[in-house]
Structure 1
Amino acid sequence: MVEDIGSQLVTFKLEGTENYKVWSTAVQLALHIRNKIGFINGKSVRDETDGTLQEQWDKCNVVLKETYDKQDGSVIYNLHHKIYTLTQSSMSLSEYYHECNSLWRQFDSLVDLPACTCECSSKFKEHAQLLRLMQFLMGLDDVFNSVRSIILTIKPILDVKYAFATLSRDESHRNSHSSS
């Protein structure tokens, strides 16, 4: 129902791998209680035979779109600014990586690029991955300087996921040596 649109599903924020299972269960339960889980798992589909139900479905979609699809240049600018000024600072490496990914996913969802299957599309994807890798590496704390230098010399250049895995191994190695 439309009145559920503004209500908060869960009272706590997803923090990453630390609370994903609890958060996911809470969201699923909240959606189930509100009879909305079918919209997520695909069991609820728009009725193609009943015109009244189609109209109700479309009205709900319009209300959702009018409520949440308010973007302009300032939204994209602010998100882009967050991406380019994000630094690890007091975050753990894992938190920083997940924050970067979250911001990139948000940015991707705001920017409608045409689906391209031409020969150049893979070059554009590589370029976008390179930019993300550089953003990620630039925001790292200085403790990762030596590993960052190694990552930048690897050919072919790693993507962000592999760079994060490399940095994580180094961090684990350093932590195990400092504790012993």
Structure 2
Amino acid sequence: MDQADDIWKDLKTRYSQGDLLRVSDLQLEASSLKQGDLSVTEYFTKLRIIWNELENFRPDPTCTCTIKCVCSVLTIIAQRKLEDQAMQFLHGLNDQYNNVKSHVLLMEPLPPISKIFSYVVQQERQLLGQNFIANVHLDRTSSVNVVASPICTHCN
């Protein structure tokens, strides 16, 4: 191993053995990830980290033909990958986002993932606002009930 190229080839052979296993683990992790107690932003960020790592292991193919490709198959492959990611994101969301999920999946063409994320975050803000208003209303009604029926500590 007197050449740098030989060293790099040796390192690649030694350390790339588990690539498919890691890809399999990442795909399973992404497909089983659910929002649960996470905010939409936290959930989306976790998915993005997994997708980026998958991209490192399996980058999109590039055309190496000497004649410029005219069939646009690579563009179609890239678009399908983005659609798969959008559906994966929507699938893992909590049920309270079913309306926005249905709405987005009916759009033709499917908007970019950043736009879908924006729709879901808007829905999250709306839901959080409704919960806040409901909680304020409950707090007011419960405090009114406590004040409305005072009890004397001396004679009951």
Please state which band the TM-score falls in when normalised by the shorter chain.
0.5 to 0.7
Partner of 2:128: 175
Which of 88, 103, 108 pairs up with 2:50? Answer: 103
Q: For the residues of structure 2 that align with 1:121 and 1:114, how far apart are their CA atoms?
A: 7
Q: For the residues of structure 1 that align with 2:114 and 2:58, how far apart are their CA atoms?
A: 22
Q: Would you say 1:124 and 2:77 are equivalent positions?
A: yes
Partner of 2:40: 93
Alignment of 1:1-180 (within 5 A): 71-116=18-63, 119-180=72-133
Counterpart code for 1:172: R
Report deviation, 1:127.
0.7
CA 104–115 in structure 1, closer or farther in 2 if over 3 Å, else same:
same
Report deviation, 1:67.
8.9
Deviation sequence 1:129-164 (CA, Å, 0-9, x none): 111111111111111111111111122212221111
Counterpart code for 2:53: Q
Counterpart code for 1:162: K
CA 147–105 in structure 1, closer or farther in 2 if over 3 Å, else same:
same
Q: Structure 1 unaligned segments of length 5 or more: list them.
A: 1-54
Alignment RMSD, CA only? 2.7
Query: How many residues were matched structurally?
Result: 125
Report which of the two structures shows the higher radius of gyration computed on alpha carbons: 2
Q: For the residues of structure 1 that align with 2:109 and 2:22, how far apart are their CA atoms?
A: 34
Q: For the residues of structure 2 that align with 1:108 and 1:101, how far apart are their CA atoms?
A: 10
Aligned 8 A contact 2:61 2:74 in 1: no
CA 154–112 in structure 1, closer or farther in 2 if over 3 Å, else same:
closer
Instruction: Provide the TM-score with structure 2 as the length reference.
Output: 0.67
CA 112–154 in structure 1, closer or farther in 2 if over 3 Å, else same:
closer
Deviation sequence 1:32-55 (CA, Å, 0-9, x none): xxxxxxxxxxxxxxxxxxxxxxx9
Q: Secondary structure at the match of 1:114?
A: coil
Higher relative contact order at CA 8 Å, sep ≥6: structure 1 or structure 2? 2
Instruction: Provide the TM-score with structure 1 as the length reference.
Output: 0.59
Runs of 4+ in 1 over 6 A off after TM superposition: 64-68
